[in-house]
Chain A
Amino acid sequence: MRKTYQMEDLDCAVCAAKMEDAIRKIDGVESVSINYIMQQMTIEADESRLAGIMKQASKACRKIERNCRIIM
């Protein structure tokens, strides 16, 4: 399933690329693309596991940029 989330305080484009890398490694994620300019993350993942995946993704993002949040 494909879903788009709004992100907040994503302030660096290099970080966005790093977040993509980190999230792609999460089990169950088929594809992820972060649009830095729109501050949006489009993720394609197994729907039944989406909640868990998003929790991990959000953690991965905070690890890369302290203030960055995914609005869910």
Chain B
Amino acid sequence: MTGKQRKNLIRIIVAVVLTVLAAIFAPDGWLGLLLYLLPYVVVGADIVFDAVTGIFRGRFLDEKFLMAVATIGAFAIGEYLEAVAVMLFFQVGELFESIAVGKSRRNIMALMNIRPDKASVLRQGEEFEVSPEEVKVGEKIVVRPGERIPLDGMVAEGTSSVDTSALTGESLPADISVGDKVISGTVNLSGVITVEVQSEYSESTVARVLELVQNASSKKARTENFITRFARVYTPCVVAGATLLAVVPPLVFSQDFGEWLHRGLVFLAVSCPCALVISVPLSFFGGIGRASKEGILIKGSGFMESLARTKQVVFDKTGTLTEGRFSVSQIHPVGIAEDELLRLAAFAESSSLHPIARSVVAAYDGEIDTTLITQMQEHSGRGVEALVKGQRIYAGNRDFIEKVAEMPRISATGTVVHVAKENEYLGYITLADSIKPHAKEAVAQLRALGVRKTVMLTGDREDTARRVGEELQIDEVYAQLLPEDKVAAVERMIPECSPLVFVGDGINDAPVLTRSDVGVAMGALGSDVAIEAADVVLMDDKLSKLPRAIDISRRTMAIVRQNIVFALGIKGLVLILGAFGIVGMWAAIFADVGVMILAILNAMRTLAQKSK
């Protein structure tokens, strides 16, 4: 609690005690009025003061003015206790709001507690502790185990592992060694490392992410704008209603003035749209905070609203649905075992740097004893040959192998590595850009969430694209597209089925990201372009984050809707019942303060939502 909050709490407690005493002891007449005025002044003097000064500044309909009128009116008709109670609960509500909002703010700051506060920079061989802003590009910094890496850079010395969970939500640590990139905001876990700084603090990942989360207001939700507009008309309408109630029945129908004034005052007590104006943005804020905790950055409540209603998801293929790296998809041996074929190929290609060779080696689980391999020769663009345990092994394309061994007729698609031993053909290995783990699951989850159509766009060849599309059960596949074709395709698809969410890796697809209803960039950690262009940024490259983002958005929207219905429902009910004199001031107090407290508590649930 801040000093101001504590002071208000004390005022409220003192006023409660004085009110109770007044309720017990107050005699009728002016002495009673005086006894009730005491707590009123304690708790409401500043409100009345603000209300009066407000009039001179041309503000008639602010909440303080209305509270002042409602309570003074209640005193005027002799309802002392109600007058004090309205003011008292108004202050209770204000205090609660201030505490709750402060708590939410702190919770979200804690979620995003990734700001590094110092950097140990090496200058002339000595270590200096400075703030991250003071470190220049090219300088070296030392990061010890347990410390947060303050700036983006490359490991110059040492090996360690890093915990990226604060940024990506990923709980498994990643191993790093010399030459690897490290990202600011992640935590160094096991070893001391020296990092060569590659960007200034203001341009670093951590600074960008913080900026993005805290200013996630680039597009406000329609719901949020509706509430702001609604608040603007609600108060004048209710005040007009209050005036009519207090004036028309007594004047036109010569009813009892005190009774109708009382009903009018009930109206004034529910004239603040506070519950909505606070709880709706608070819900979105909590939802956005929750998402960022899981490595999903949403750039505004408007995108959350669209995500919740997602009807069509369009994926880019390479790097989004697939790894963007080759891996062994099939092994077709002739006369030997599968793993023997893979082993021989891996041995032969073990020292080649060609991406295909690297993929074959990566697919082989066993140890490669390099002492067994001699006379390795690389035939550029064709293949390799090497002596493995004294036997000559060839691995390469068809032209290359045909020269040494007789080959059967083979109809394989994709990239193929043929293998031969001396003059004997051993079979072939096919390589494909492998589909990401969980990609299929994520597509199925999207469908379960009610996404009507999934589409894949790619610049890749038709047959490869079809195969990926079928494997993932994607509804439509468009292959051999140029970047501008992708934009055109998305533009054509938006009117058919929207909101349309486009998911890409942020490389080459910035125009499509901008054009779609919600542009999602994934694997964006460290990619500036993607963070700029996208509406939603998935910090790592896990496709399962997308259904999760939709899920969080849906739950947030549900809480927003609950609050709107609940607040408007109760207020409407009290207004109607109050107009007929069925309920009085106490119900109005509940409709004002009680509803606000409940709506805020409900809004705070968005931050705490657990994954299924």
Contacts and interface: CB of A to CB of B under 8 A. Distances in A.
A55 B101 CA distance: 27
25 contacts: A12-B63, A12-B274, A13-B278, A13-B281, A14-B63, A14-B231, A14-B272, A14-B277, A15-B62, A17-B231, A17-B232, A17-B277, A18-B62, A33-B217, A33-B220, A35-B214, A36-B101, A36-B278, A37-B104, A37-B105, A37-B282, A37-B285, A42-B217, A64-B62, A66-B53
A15 B50 CA distance: 13
| Most B C-beta atoms less than 10 A away, residue of A35, A40, A64 | A35
A38 B102 CA distance: 9
A63 interface: yes
B282 to A, nearest CB: 6
Chain A binding surface, main DSSP class: mixed
A9 interface: yes
Contacts of B62: 14-15, 18, 64
A31 B97 CA distance: 27
B94 interface: yes
Contact of A66 (B4, B50, B214, B285): B50
In the A-B complex, list the 10 residue pairs whose CB atoms are closest, starting with the nearest. A13-B277, A13-B278, A37-B285, A17-B228, A33-B217, A14-B277, A63-B57, A35-B217, A38-B214, A37-B105
A11 interface: yes
A50 B273 CA distance: 33
B4 A14 contact: no
Interface centre among B57, B101, B231, B285 (most CB of A within 10 A): B101
Interface in A41-65: 42, 63-64
Contacts of B97: 11
Given A12-B63, A37-B105, 12 more contacts: A11-B94, A12-B94, A13-B277, A14-B277, A15-B62, A17-B228, A33-B217, A35-B214, A35-B215, A38-B105, A38-B214, A64-B59
Nearest to A2: B215
A12 B273 CA distance: 11
A13 B217 contact: no
B98 interface: yes
Given A35-B217, A42-B217, A13 B274 contact: yes
Contacts of A15: 62
Contacts of A35: 214-215, 217
A64 B144 CA distance: 50
A38 B112 CA distance: 13
Interface string B41-52: 000000000100
Interface in A1-19: 4, 9, 11-15, 17-18
